[in-house]
Amino acid sequence: MSAQAFRSIKDIPLEEYFTPGHRACQGCGETIAVRHILKAAGPDVIVVNATGCLEVISSPYPYTAWAVPWYHVAFENAAAVASGIEAALKVLTRKNLISGKKIHVVCFAGDGGTADIGFQALSGALERGHDFLYVCLDNEAYMNTGIQRSSSTPYGAWTTTSPPGKVKPAGQMTYKKDLPSIFAAHGIPYVATATVAYPLDLINKAKKGLEVEGPAYLHVYTPCSPGWRIPSEKVVQVSRLGVQTGMFLIYEVENGQLRLTVKPSRRKPVTEYLKMQGRFRHLSDEDVERIQRLVDERCAKFGLPPLEAST
Amino acid sequence: MTTDKPTVKNLPIAGIIFVPGSAKEYNTGAFRSQKPILDAKLCTKCGMCWVYCPDGAVFVNSEGMYEINLKYCKGCGICSEECARKAIKMVDEEE
């Protein structure tokens, strides 16, 4: 397996398998990620797509933005359908009905389709060991239906179903579900997190996840311009700040070995990340301190430098 | 009433779309209120605009230069923000 398939931006293929003309919002973070993951997969791929933003924006009938075979399935069963496709491909290859060329199966789902509704199907598929790549495009709420909270929404975020008020001043009062850790605990060969600001890291991880034998899980943090209340041109910048402040930890777990792939040398305070986004506008100083403390604790566990030393 | 829209009788089963990537025909340039202008003299061909474009609207032309396809560009401004040389300027669309 080639460890670093794409060494520079110039190595990324020019072909678009997720074609222009899709109807995503201006500055959609999700589509940047999808473009690059499909470039890593190439033309021999079958895509399974759970309901969510991605499905809605890419397939208003009679148009499709997909230049590869694509299935749209319900919220809860993307991983189950991918398992079936993978099993069918295995049988067809065994019976010599298709050429022996490896056909990748990639699953795209949002954080709602992964953390909430599609959780059990994915857990089952990972446990059975089907050979596919599951990509969770985490924009931290149900953006497609109008910004409702999901279990992946971070503490303190405003959404339409977690509005800050007198009783719950922070908005979302619960903490983000740590999905990559949950799926790493399934003991699958490859789990990774990535974000759109580091496209080479993202595309290499997608490639690795596709080439690995058995299931792979890729968690991509994709900022959402309308949902996070950020101007469309700041989407990539927010994603980069998420990494630099330690809000997003970019790592991979390969056969149980954890390795940070993007390691910020100087960690910025979380306020820089929070201040850019309208969904954190209402936060009090105590709330910001609490988020900073949680991020510090988590970063210490991953071996990132403490904030004091880095300023 | 005559209409040229397809009906249930002549649509394929399950609404399968047989043309891959047919969204290319759709004009998303109408989303735009500002358009990016690339200054070729400043461009170092680093490719950041191409990498970060959510719409795949940036392409490499026959001379190897990056160019923006205004049919698809939605005017989000990411390319202008991420360009290291500030070679892309966002200007207002005018009637």
Of B87, B81, B82, which is closest to residue B66 (Cα–Cα)? B87
Residue-level length of chain B? 95
- Chain A residues within an 8 Å CB radius of B21: 16-17, 19, 64-67
Number of domains in chain B: 1
Strand partners, B59: B67
Q: How far is B24 from chain A (nearest CA, A)?
A: 5
Name the CATH superfamily, with its identifier, for domain A9-304: Thiamin diphosphate (ThDP)-binding fold, Pyr/PP domains (3.40.50.970)
Nearest to B54 among A10, A28, A67 (CB): A28
pLDDT at A99: 83
Within-domain flag for B8: no
Statement: residue B51 has pLDDT above 50: yes
Q: Do B51 and A232 touch (CB under 8 A)?
A: no
- Distance between CA B54 and CA B76 in Å, rounded? 9
Strand partners, A297: none
- Domain residue extents for chain A: 9-304
- Chain A residues within an 8 Å CB radius of B52: 32, 196, 199, 236
Q: How far is A136 from chain B (nearest CA, A)?
A: 17
pLDDT at A147: 93
- Distance between CA B87 and CA B70 in Å, rounded? 17
Residues of chain A with pLDDT under 70: 1-4, 308-311
| Residues A105, A110, A111, A112, Cα dihedral to 10° | -110
Within-domain flag for B52: yes
> What are the strands of the beta sheet with A251-254, ordered from one edge?
A70-72, A45-49, A104-110, A133-138, A216-221, A190-195, A251-254, A257-260
Nearest to A65 among B23, B71, B75 (CB): B23
Each residue's pLDDT tens digit, A158-192: 999 999 999 888 899 999 999 999 999 999 999 99
pLDDT at A1: 47
Q: How far is A26 from chain B (nearest CA, A)?
A: 5
- Chain A residues within an 8 Å CB radius of B32: 26
Cis peptide, bond prior to residue A62, ω within 30 of zero: yes
Helix ranges restricted to H, chain A: 29-41, 53-58, 78-94, 111, 119-128, 179-184, 199-211, 235-245, 270-275, 285-301, 307-310
Within-domain flag for B45: yes
Question: Residue B62 is part of which domain span?
Answer: 27-92
- Distance between CA A233 and CA B73 in Å, rounded? 13
pLDDT at A308: 66
pLDDT at B4: 76
Decide if the complex's ipTM is over 0.95. Answer: no
- Distance between CA A159 and CA A142 in Å, rounded? 9
pLDDT at B15: 81
pLDDT at A3: 54
Task: List the CATH number of the domain containing B70.
Answer: 3.30.70.20
- Distance between CA A150 and CA A147 in Å, rounded? 9
